Structure 1
Amino acid sequence: METIDLINKLTHNNFVFQKLDTTIRFFNRSDYYTVHGSDALFAAQEVFKTTSVCKMIGAEPHKTEGVILNKSHFETLVRDLLLVKQYRVEVYINLGSSKNQNWILEYKGSPGNLSHFEDILFGNNDIAVGVSVIAVKLGTEGKSRVVGLSCVDVVSTLISVIEFQDNESFSNLESLIVTLAPKECLLIQGEGSFEFQTLKQLMERSNVMVTLRKKNEFASDSIIDDLNKLVKFKKGQKQNAQSLPEVNLNLAMSATSALIKYLDLTSDEGHMNQFKLNQIEQSRYIRLDSAAMKALNIEPHTDTIPTLHGNSVASILTLLDKCRTAQGHRLIAQWVRQPLKDLSLIKERHDIVELLVNNNELRSTLSDDYLKRIPDLQQLAKKLARKKLTLQDCYKIYLCISHLPKLLEQLLLEKNVTALNTMIIEPLKELIEDMDKFQQLVEQTIDLDAAEKGDFMVNPEFADDLKTLKDAMDELEETIQKQLSKAANDLCMEAGKMIKLECNQQLGYYFRITLKEEKILRNKKHYTILDSNKAGVRFRNNKLNELNDDFLDARNKYLERQKDVIIEIVEIAAGYSETVRSIGGVLACLDVLTAFSSAAVSANKVYVRPKMVPSEEGELNLIQVRHPCLEMQQGVDYIANDIIFKRDQCHFYIITGPNMGGKSTYIRSVGVTALMAHIGSFVPCDEATISLLDCILARVGADDSQLKGLSTFMMEMIETAAILKTATCNSLVIIDELGRGTSTYEGCGIAWSIAEHLARDIKSYCLFATHFHEITKLTEEISTVKNQHVTALVEDDKLTLLYKVMPGICDQSFGLHVAKMANFPSDVIEFAKRKQAELEDYQGVAFEGSDNPQKKQKVIQEGEVLISQFLTKCKALDSSLSDTDLESQILSLKEDILSHKNPYIEALLATY
């Protein structure tokens, strides 16, 4: 059938073939690929930046757009779809003839399932992408909701499972999603309940692709058999998955079963007995929600807002990721999502970072001389396990292991640093020893001289027939080398300079001259030009043609003979996959800690080591804290500020001040610094003391999410509800401008109640930036709440933002000053002043001393106490008295209040 008919059939048939908008279909036509319909328009725009390349194909009435992609375009687009845009990809192939076409699905992939595209995506081992996919199954335990989750990472060959109770907002699950950073989530198809919709929205909000699967795929009937095939049991451990404690997590095992089927793990021999089965320990990490991830700009995202200086604000990950290895890039992305709660582990990381910060020579040697030579050992270990390794891959591992003893020598100079010895030196020493026989295997079986030249062949000494073929090749090469001088003499050119003899695997041997010299070859029939390009003209003479044909023939026989030997080599080498993966893990850790030290010393002002103390000490003191991303922006002279929190003394700042005055940057800098300290990095402060936190939670700058049916106000209420359910006295909470999107008084009421609950009941460390100045009165009720404000200077109708955080409340609003600077008409500004006075009510009342904020507040407080007493006494009057007597007594009470001569009360009476 025609391709266009196929498209219609695939699109309109039963649900198996229905195509989602996030699925792109390619048709493999051997030498090129085509895409059709809406996919063609999408591909044209992505690849060629124009839809003009689309051609209408097919017959009426089913004509549609079509685009042709060469292999390079196809691979580039697939990388972008799967790794960046998180689309699904399907590739179809024609098993019929050109007349009777029979297109079937050849292979498919999704962000969490890349197995069919590994050669395209990871052929270049410099690409560092962590890929994990999760499955979630819901259940109940009594009246409680239970979540079963399984996560599979095929690169690190890890299956992680967990079961836990959760609330109706799935806030525990959201925190786990942040920690695991999955690309895709499997859910049971057809579940239309409210909780299912909430779960689906959570995944979409966390940028996780949702894939619906049939309910029977979550059946765990065969899970024990599957795990017996996949799990690598430890020495001395019973070789049966039934004995593993994780299999008792029924919901998690159902989710695991769905993942095994979806990823088709049991069909790949390379996965057999390679996976570890672990139970996720949420208690190991600080809890982060997706709002905190976005608010603190922890990872780069596409909608980054440009700064005033034209630069986009870098993310924390971008700032810290100075890693030199692919496994290091993956690990640092994992660490920023998994801040530690273990004080000992944090201090170990800080010990190593401190060593590298202070030792410039060791830091630069590791980064520039050793780590940059390390290939992606985790990807190579995966190829080893699947027995898909090439001689080139074996050589890469060999070279890497060869460099490690020298790296170890450098580290041993600092072996007195216990953390370095425990985390890096000792494990690396043992692993290098374990690789000794692998190194011998490579030396005995691979021609290392040829490998240095980029030609990967089995050592000819390995077998007699190989030796014979190799000798023949060597003799031919000697004869070929002599042809260079003969051709040089014939063409009157200097051998080795003007004319060169070169060789590659495709063409074999050939001569090369520059494009300028090409005219020398004209009218010389015994020379054959192979091709011309910027590098020059490649050609041969008749004799070199004959010799090269003989050489390639001998070489092809050699390559054919060595195939059996390579199978044996790979079979033996596969046994080292776990060791290679472990070496990759240790080097990744060293790479990340080296990156932390490089980030610390390359900052505008060197970062310092934070003093980490137990939670019980209740301190969060940051002296001259800076925002690490903003201070790196060109043209920014960052104004640093302090935060001094001590439990039961002060743990809550209410921050007021003008827009763009630095409130948001200040509170974000505190959150970012706390996170950096807990992942083992140094921090952008002059001095830092931080008690262990259990959560970093944020409600900053919620946006409309119209595609998900959520307004700004609803988004911030969802995020704030999660904070109130999650926060403890050891949590850091940052809230910015809460209460927008509803009426002013309602917003103020909500913001006040939330602030009071956090300050009085939960007692979290909290930075609460607000435009509701009324909330500053909370300091009168709760002693641990303090007012802070960002300062600004008004001179000659010019507003200068000083970005300095000072004690107390902001004493004025700057809106009218900004309006003047924007050249509002004077009558509009005068009317605004009058309206402001009316709306501010008693706050706008002027009296003696009201120009001094502290004195004004004190006078108003005294006046409100007197008014309250007056009202209480009025309520206590005998209601049976006559109107005349009541009026007389009320006047007496009024005279009593007026005798206090409170300026605020006098001004109120004069106004009304």
Structure 2
Amino acid sequence: MAVQPNQQFNMDNATQQSFVRFFKNLPEKPSSTIRFFNRTEYYTLHGSDALFAAKEIYKSTAGCKMLGAEPYKTEGLILSKSNFENFVRDLLLVKQYRVEVFVNQGSGKNQDWILEYKGSPGNLVQFEDILFSNNDVAVSTSVMAVKLGGEAKNRIVGVSCVDSVERLISVCEFADDDLFSNLEALVISLGPKECLIIQGDGSQEFQTLKQLMERSNIMVTLRKKSDFSTDSIVQDMNTLLNFRKGQQRNAQTLVEMNLKVAMAGTSAIIKYLELTSDEGNFNQFKVKQLEQSRFVRLDAAAVRALSIEPRGDLPSGTSTGAPNSILNLLDRCRTPQGHRLISQWIRQPLRDIALIKERHDIVETLVKDNELRSSLMEDHLRRVPDLQQLAKKLAKKKVTLQDCCRIYFCVSHLPVLTEQLCNAKYGAAMKAMIVDPLRELISDMDKYQQMIEQTIDLEAAEKGDYMVKPEFNNDLQELKLKMNDLEEEIQGLINKVATDLSLEAGKVLKLESNQQFGYYFRITLKEEKSIRNKKGYTTIDSNKSGVRFTNQKLTSLNEDFISVRDQYLEEQKSVISEIINIAAGYTGPVHSIGSVTAQLDVLTAFALASANAPRAYVRPEMCSSDVGELNLIQARHPCLELQEGVDFIANDVSFKRDECTFHIITGPNMGGKSTYIRTTGVVALLAHIGCFVPCDSAKISILDCILARVGADDSQTKGLSTFMTEMIETAAILRTATSNSLVIIDELGRGTSTYEGCGIAWSIADHLATELKPYCLFATHFHEITRLAEDVPTVKNLQVTAVVGDNKLTLLYRVKPGVCDQSFGIHVAKMANFPDHVVEAAEKKLIELEDCQKITFEGSDDPAARRKIIKAGDELIAIFAAKCKALDPSLTKPEIENKIQLYKEEILSHNNPYINALLSSP
């Protein structure tokens, strides 16, 4: 819990009334925008913002004070600078709010407040000093812009995405449907924090686009249409782009500039982030065209169904400590850039088999070499700071000597890292992806290291004191000599004080220093009595570590020392400026080192998760799409198997094109159907991102999509019912799936009538199985759908098993071939301790509703034979009914009765057991 600040509102009644009047007249804002007021020594919030902040920071509104008087009266809350910085960091990076900070340009009584700076999840430029100065931020902060082009029937979606940390502008254009299914997949792949769209006119297209972003947890920022103008885009791109050697320095020649609709979005982002107003952005960015075909497509339902990322409303792990998402499971990264990259890789599973195998090769090396894996995690990677953020600060020339030293110490250690990698038995993948790039970059940084060694006092830097070497010029040398003399004289005081106080120097009595006080003496609390009321000694403060004190001589020498040190720091400023100017030229190599170490960090995290699982993961055999196989032996769900007290039951999954592509899974609730289909999706995802998989063995053909329809959550915030959500997600699957896709569907058809739901589920299953032919796992309670296996050879029935005994239901979680011939719903109700009379009523009603299904006849004990007999009987009954309906109404009653009797005898002549049983039942 944050400590309540001691500051008080330094305003008289008239000033309070004047401020509150100004505050009440500010333009209206959304609740997701928080306004701060900078009062130099502290910050304040007011009204609903004050109440919100008090609850978030102090867990109580007790710290809020009322300012002003009726009719101008509002709540106020004071935040210290540290609380302000922590709260802003949480608002922008976690809660994804907007922040505005106002400053008063007038005197204290004049309310001349103006907006000093503002920020949002995708626009952190003005808050970078707060967010990144002493903190490594592991989240990505990219911003996207979407513009629609073309006519309604030939709609083109233009997308631009700018990552200010990676210094990358990504653009693409594509056709899309009314629900923007392709855009949704792209949004999932890129994972932006904020999206700019043109202020809408209330059209359905605008509303659909806005809802898509909001349900993907992306902040929507509405911008004027003029912001999307491309009038100055060529000039802006010429300013921002880092052209390669030999490349014509004219953005107009780039193929990406031909994407007019997408570049309009780029123009809007450049204006929004004010990129061209900061020289640190000049010649720093790259532009590339997004190739969606490079990655396995994920829909939003698949992201939720497979728990790829943690949900915002849930903690990162369960109460037992097990991870509740794939990202939580895998992210053991040691570097901020590693954390960002692993989040990106999980959203961008690869379709290039060569790149996947390259990652698998490195993971295999690290899984087999325990010593290398351990040293990377516990030593080498811990030494790597956020080089991508430092590169950004370098480009803007906002680095400090400390930043320069952090880069130096990291680069100095890289040869040790590469040497250990070389000593390991790595293959061509590690060499090409990690070792060779690092060696080249170390060479590129050679002159940087020389400069740092020649200019900065590295011994002092290792102690946390960042200063230029005194040998750099005569003035610094002279000041350093004075500092040394004063320090020597100060050191000599300890023996005199020790004698005076009868204490042992260096053990009981110590001489220490820090940036706040300079030099001081310290003794333990136990020895405090030795200076109590002692003439000539002054206590500075007292805490658990002891009592800090000084005397007149030390105070005088300390003041002289601080004065000389300040002169030294002032004198070295010009030298530091020169160092930073030279260091800025190494922005590219520093950023590249960050990128390479991020890849090594992520692959090491994959190896750690694979090796440390309850049962070690295995390397999957990846095949081309043409092979058409997806076979998993003893597949396990990687998150569930980590839960305490869980002995996970593994199961096999087998798909083969033209032989078995569609599994219909039946069985009781809680029997493991959902876990089984989710496990398959998770294993396929892990294989495609380059990780090992939780199986005994796995053979997986490259997929183009992982699509899902799982769960029955109402989307009330989107104005969609359960059934409508099902239909929208399923429609997207039917438009997208191919024979190389993995589709998982769970309990389709709920939310409408039983027969209608069954009919819809049947038609969808039939279309997937006979037309699209993806690898599909279809879990259902509509047992009628299992008959599809009789008509379509590639459809197979699976069931999750359960045993009923002593009126108890035992779930086995084992998947085996066949159809589950009963529902077990009433057994589950009993397990949930339903009242006995409710269970009895349910059983009675079940018998009534399933009267014909309860009929027994010859062959009815075999589910497959029973279905065939009933099907044949239904067809005979339909023929009988059709003949009766076609009778001539002019016939007399006896003639009609005779005809019907003939039809009946004709039907009975088939001797169908089902019809015989129906006629003989009471």
Greater CA drift, 735-744 or 673-682: 735-744
**1 CA distance for matches of 2:450 and 2:319?**
57
1:261 is matched with which residue: 271, 281, 304?
A: 271
Say if 2:19 and 2:111, in contact at 8 Å, map to a contact too.
Answer: no
Greater CA drift, 818-827 or 154-163: 818-827
**1 CA distance for matches of 2:339 and 2:659?**
41
State the 1:816 CA deviation. 2.1
Q: Which amino acid aligns with 1:843?
A: Q
Say if 1:160 and 1:279, in contact at 8 Å, map to a contact too.
Answer: yes
2:682 is matched with which residue: 672, 697, 702?
A: 672
State the 1:710 CA deviation. 1.6
Q: Tell me the SS of whatever aligns to 1:314.
A: coil
String of CA shifts for 1:701-739, please: whole Å, max 9, x gaps: 142222221222222222111111111111111111111
Say if 1:134 and 1:259, in contact at 8 Å, map to a contact too.
Answer: yes
State the 1:547 CA deviation. 1.5
Q: Which amino acid aligns with 2:806?
A: D
Q: Tell me the SS of whatever aligns to 1:402.
A: helix
Residue of structure 1 equivalent to 2:43? 33
Say if 2:631 and 2:699, in contact at 8 Å, map to a contact too.
Answer: yes
- With over 3 angstroms needed to count, the CA separation of the structure-2 counterparts of 1:534 and 1:307, relative to structure 1, is closer
**2 CA distance for matches of 1:2 and 1:156?**
47
Are 2:346 and 1:371 equivalent residues in the alignment? no
Q: Which amino acid aligns with 1:433?
A: S
**2 CA distance for matches of 1:210 and 1:380?**
29
Residue of structure 1 equivalent to 2:774? 764
**1 CA distance for matches of 2:810 and 2:280?**
65
State the 1:632 CA deviation. 0.5
State the 1:414 CA deviation. 4.0
Q: Which amino acid aligns with 2:416?
A: K
1:628 is matched with which residue: 638, 641, 650?
A: 638
Residue of structure 1 equivalent to 2:846? 836
Say if 2:781 and 2:823, in contact at 8 Å, map to a contact too.
Answer: no
Residue of structure 2 equivalent to 1:499? 509
Are 2:789 and 1:779 equivalent residues in the alignment? yes
Residue of structure 2 equivalent to 1:447? 457
Are 2:237 and 1:223 equivalent residues in the alignment? no
Say if 2:630 and 2:654, in contact at 8 Å, map to a contact too.
Answer: yes
Say if 1:10 and 1:19, in contact at 8 Å, map to a contact too.
Answer: no
**1 CA distance for matches of 2:698 and 2:49?**
53
Residue of structure 2 equivalent to 1:90? 100
State the 1:481 CA deviation. 1.3
Residue of structure 2 equivalent to 1:518? 528
Are 2:172 and 1:176 equivalent residues in the alignment? no
Q: How does 1:248-397 map to 2 (within 5 A)?
A: 248-304=258-314, 314-397=324-407
State TM-score, norm by structure 2.
Answer: 0.95
**1 CA distance for matches of 2:34 and 2:880?**
75
Q: Any gaps of 5 or more consecutive residues in structure 2? A: 1-13
1:735 is matched with which residue: 735, 739, 745?
A: 745
Q: Tell me the SS of whatever aligns to 2:209.
A: helix
Q: How does 1:59-208 map to 2 (within 5 A)?
A: 59-140=69-150, 143-208=153-218
Q: Tell me the SS of whatever aligns to 1:860.
A: helix
State the 1:451 CA deviation. 0.8
**1 CA distance for matches of 2:310 and 2:896?**
70
Say if 1:661 and 1:790, in contact at 8 Å, map to a contact too.
Answer: yes
String of CA shifts for 1:230-273, please: whole Å, max 9, x gaps: 11100000111111111111111111111111101111111111
State the 1:852 CA deviation. 4.0
Say if 1:674 and 1:690, in contact at 8 Å, map to a contact too.
Answer: yes
Are 2:452 and 1:435 equivalent residues in the alignment? no
State the 1:613 CA deviation. 0.3
State TM-score, norm by structure 1.
Answer: 0.96
Q: Which amino acid aligns with 2:449?
A: Q
Q: Which amino acid aligns with 2:271?
A: K
**1 CA distance for matches of 2:700 and 2:128?**
43
Say if 1:343 and 1:692, in contact at 8 Å, map to a contact too.
Answer: yes
Residue of structure 2 equivalent to 1:544? 554
Are 2:717 and 1:696 equivalent residues in the alignment? no
**1 CA distance for matches of 2:866 and 2:318?**
37
Q: Which amino acid aligns with 1:668?
A: R
- With over 3 angstroms needed to count, the CA separation of the structure-2 counterparts of 1:273 and 1:142, relative to structure 1, is same
String of CA shifts for 1:524-568, please: whole Å, max 9, x gaps: 221122222222211112221121112111111110000000000
State the 1:753 CA deviation. 1.4
Residue of structure 1 equivalent to 2:4? none
Residue of structure 2 equivalent to 1:684? 694
String of CA shifts for 1:817-873, please: whole Å, max 9, x gaps: 233445555554444333213323532323345344344334334434554565677
Q: Which amino acid aligns with 2:723?
A: F
**2 CA distance for matches of 1:456 and 1:881?**
112
Say if 2:316 and 2:328, in contact at 8 Å, map to a contact too.
Answer: no
**1 CA distance for matches of 2:304 and 2:784?**
28
Q: Which amino acid aligns with 1:159?
A: I
Say if 2:310 and 2:316, in contact at 8 Å, map to a contact too.
Answer: no
Q: Tell me the SS of whatever aligns to 1:800.
A: strand
Are 2:731 and 1:721 equivalent residues in the alignment? yes
Q: Tell me the SS of whatever aligns to 1:832.
A: helix
**1 CA distance for matches of 2:383 and 2:408?**
12
Q: Any gaps of 5 or more consecutive residues in structure 1? A: none
- With over 3 angstroms needed to count, the CA separation of the structure-2 counterparts of 1:168 and 1:851, relative to structure 1, is same
Residue of structure 2 equivalent to 1:811? 821
**2 CA distance for matches of 1:200 and 1:822?**
41
Q: Which amino acid aligns with 1:759?
A: A
Say if 1:528 and 1:540, in contact at 8 Å, map to a contact too.
Answer: yes
2:487 is matched with which residue: 477, 495, 502?
A: 477
Q: Which amino acid aligns with 1:102?
A: D
Residue of structure 1 equivalent to 2:811? 801
**2 CA distance for matches of 1:4 and 1:656?**
70
Residue of structure 1 equivalent to 2:415? 405
Q: How does 1:567-586 map to 2 (within 5 A)?
A: 567-586=577-596
Q: Tell me the SS of whatever aligns to 1:621.
A: strand
**2 CA distance for matches of 1:281 and 1:629?**
31
Say if 1:848 and 1:903, in contact at 8 Å, map to a contact too.
Answer: yes
**1 CA distance for matches of 2:415 and 2:622?**
34
Q: Which amino acid aligns with 1:846?
A: T
Q: How does 1:901-912 map to 2 (within 5 A)?
A: 901-911=911-921
**2 CA distance for matches of 1:231 and 1:630?**
47
**2 CA distance for matches of 1:399 and 1:309?**
40
Say if 1:415 and 1:421, in contact at 8 Å, map to a contact too.
Answer: no
Say if 2:316 and 2:324, in contact at 8 Å, map to a contact too.
Answer: no
Q: Tell me the SS of whatever aligns to 1:439.
A: helix
Q: Which amino acid aligns with 2:622?
A: M
**1 CA distance for matches of 2:474 and 2:595?**
40
Say if 1:113 and 1:263, in contact at 8 Å, map to a contact too.
Answer: yes
Q: Which amino acid aligns with 1:531?
A: D
Q: Tell me the SS of whatever aligns to 2:146.
A: strand
Greater CA drift, 431-440 or 830-839: 830-839
- With over 3 angstroms needed to count, the CA separation of the structure-2 counterparts of 1:11 and 1:240, relative to structure 1, is farther
**1 CA distance for matches of 2:426 and 2:325?**
35
Q: Which amino acid aligns with 1:315?
A: S
Q: How does 1:235-246 map to 2 (within 5 A)?
A: 235-246=245-256
Q: Tell me the SS of whatever aligns to 1:63.
A: strand
Alignment coverage as a number of residue pairs: 909
Say if 1:229 and 1:272, in contact at 8 Å, map to a contact too.
Answer: yes
Say if 2:322 and 2:642, in contact at 8 Å, map to a contact too.
Answer: no
Q: Tell me the SS of whatever aligns to 1:58.
A: strand
